A and B are shown apart, each in its own frame.
Chain A
Amino acid sequence: MTEIVKQVFIHIIRAISLLFAVSVISFTLVSASPVDPVQQYIMGIGPVSEEQRIEIEAYWGIDKPPAERYFNWLSALLHGNFGTSLLYRRPVIEIISERFQNSLALMMCAWLLSGIIGFSLGCIMGMNRDKWADKVISKLCYLLSSVPTFWLGLVFLMIFAVILGWFPVGFSTPIGMRSSEVTLWQRLHHLVLPAFTLSLMSFSNIALHTRQKMIDVMNSEYVLFARARGESRWTLFCRHALRNTVLPAITLQFASFAELFGGSVLAENVFSYPGLGSAVSAAGLNSDVPLLLGITLFSTLFVCVGNMIANLLYGVVDPKMREVDR
């Protein structure tokens, strides 16, 4: 138990230092970029005189040196103040938490789908190495991993939303409806296409890794010995192959949080899905600096948590890690 506490502590320290580094780098990049938050702010409130503009700049601290500006921003962050979004005119933290709920539903569905489909297909391929099932599925995996997500999303939109009309064309809820009136079923109905598209992006990765691991396990000496003891293919799979393959698959699955986040930016834009991914591209395109930096830090945290879960879980499921102190 103490080992786990120690591990968590180390991971938290690591996450904090990473967040600090990301905040420095992203702040520097934004400062060096031609993005002018003052101009963006002024565009929102209408025409102002030159004196007023200078006054706004002084109020925001634009005239101060970058290091001082960074520490002002950092201390505000540490007090829980992420600033106000220039685009939405609302506190950044509020937007992130609202958008994140939508994104989380989408990403978790896609994540579970890709994990389950990917692992199952990987097992089928590995157990039937070089048979037709393996050949067909692995070709499909190569094809899907080389196809860009947004293109696939567009194709799905055309087929399932436009031609067949099975699913809505976009958004997370029906248009013109109060959010309190939207049923769970309607939310799920809107979630299907984007989640499916997003899961297709990462499942081939899991499937191909699982296939290779499964082949290694089936060629191992312990499986040869199990065969010598009279175990059938199905028993081999259940007793040895499954548990020896699932360990690396779990790690890979949790480590794919970063890809998942990257993919959600594209998928959410294609399906006009109001999640964190579409917010980050809107913030980027509209020079909404507070929102952009807020989401950057938040996504860093998200990926960090994913990796931490992967590491901790590995320690729990792998006896070599778990019982090393005994």
Chain B
Amino acid sequence: MRKTDFPLLEICDLSVSFKMYDSVLGQRDLRVISNLSIKVDKGEILAIAGSSGSGKSLLASAILGILPENAAVAGDMCYNGQKLTPRLQEKLRGTEMALVPQSIAYLDPLMRAGAQADGHKKPCPTAKRRGIFGRLGLSESTEKLYPFQLSGGMARRVLVSTALITDAGLIIADEPTPGMSLHQALEALTLFREMADEGKAVILITHDIDLAFAFADKIAVFYAGTTVETASALDFRTGPESLRHPYSKALWSALPQNGFEPIAGVQPYAGNLPKGCLFAPRCSCKSAKCEQEAPPMRDLRGGEVRCFYAM
């Protein structure tokens, strides 16, 4: 593998907003992702953790350039040092960047699993795909089945095979584990780990934080459409004292094995975000500054954090 100075994918200050039509106010912009920054290198798994509604899935669409037409994107995205323009995204989709979607709904209901995994590219990679199906424990007869005939676990593996078939350098897995048994989830994550060990970069979007801790190299914590902290998975395994942001600490304490303690309040939704720090309304150590000014992302102890007071 060629060593480069650039991370495979670098996102700086990404914002995604939607044009919405409101009966009272007319047209307005609804900002769902704001000032988001992440980096992922070859050979590593970056887990993006956050509760639902924090804009995780939209991030995947933004990277691939498949957002709906009423979405506006601002900020910089670079792939291998090149600016990720719509034209480049179109070129990289399905060849360099692959998506592993969430559910069986992402399979064409009227297409057999084999043809579906083969994709549209010519020549048809049937032999290669059979090899991948074998590796994933899908029998030869699976390729003749329609999506409605697949079990949940089989469908998931067919979806994973669509990414494996491409030789893509970047794999974005959007919630690949919900609905799976622990055994199946471990199996799937082992697969992603293998891909990363082969030199691919994997972005694992998940709210299954426990599993993310175990398999990822780095974890980006999402809150209300932005990253509040990026830390190594080791920090999360160690405990709240090695974490930086108050939300990450709260997330840690809310896990069943760590006391199951929730914090008060709810995540603000796009449309009524607070003015300053997005977490300020729920933060126990906020100051007047936090309510006026949004803190920038800064380096701290080998990770990054979006907080004025983190130490």
Contacts and interface: CB of A to CB of B under 8 A. Distances in A.
B106 A224 contact: yes
B93 A222 contact: no
B162 A320 contact: no
B109 A244 contact: yes
Given A320-B146, A320-B148, A240 B108 contact: yes
A14 interface: no
Interface stretch (B94-102, B206-214, B267-275, B286-294): B94-102
Nearest to B97: A228
Chain A binding site: helix, strand, loop or mixed by DSSP? helix
Contact of A243 (B103, B110, B166): B110
Interface in B120-177: 120-121, 146, 148-149, 162, 166
Most chain B CB atoms below 10 A, which of A225, A229, A319: A229
B108 A319 contact: no
9 closest cross-chain pairs (CB), A and B: A230-B94, A230-B93, A225-B106, A229-B94, A228-B99, A221-B105, A222-B108, A319-B146, A221-B106
Chain B binding site: helix, strand, loop or mixed by DSSP? loop
A89 interface: no
B66 interface: yes
Contacts of A323: 146, 149
Most chain B CB atoms below 10 A, which of A228, A239, A247, A326: A228
A135 interface: no
A210 to B, nearest CB: 16
A36 interface: no
A322 to B, nearest CB: 9
A235 interface: yes
B158 to A, nearest CB: 12
A231 interface: yes
Given A319-B146, A323-B149, A228 B109 contact: no
Interface of B: 61, 64, 66, 90, 93-95, 98-99, 101, 103, 105-111, 119-121, 146, 148-149, 162, 166
A236 B63 CA distance: 20
Contacts of A247: 110
A326 to B, nearest CB: 8
Nearest to A326: B149
A226 B64 contact: no
Contacts, number: 69
B108 A229 contact: no
B93 A228 contact: yes
A227 interface: yes
A24 B39 CA distance: 77
Contacts of B162: 229
A225 B120 contact: no
Given A229-B94, A229-B98, A229-B99, A222 B107 contact: yes
A298 B209 CA distance: 68
B119 A229 contact: yes
Contacts of B90: 230
Interface of A: 220-222, 224-231, 235, 239-240, 243-244, 247, 318-320, 323, 326
Contact of B109 (A226, A320, A326): A320
A284 B156 CA distance: 63
10 contacts: A222-B109, A224-B61, A224-B106, A228-B61, A228-B99, A229-B94, A230-B121, A239-B108, A239-B111, A320-B148
A226 B149 contact: no
Nearest to B112: A319
Contacts of B103: 221
A231 B107 CA distance: 14
B146 A229 contact: no
Contacts of A320: 109, 146, 148
B94 A225 contact: no
Contacts of A231: 94, 120
A225 B146 contact: no
Nearest to B107: A222
Nearest to B166: A229
Contacts of B120: 226, 229-231, 235, 239
A318 B109 CA distance: 10
A286 to B, nearest CB: 52
A237 B162 CA distance: 20
Nearest to B63: A228
A220 B61 CA distance: 14
A321 to B, nearest CB: 11
A243 B146 CA distance: 14
A127 B107 CA distance: 20
A225 B110 contact: no
Contacts of A230: 90, 93-95, 120-121
A243 B112 CA distance: 13
B148 A228 contact: no
Contacts of A224: 61, 66, 101, 106
Contacts of B105: 220-222
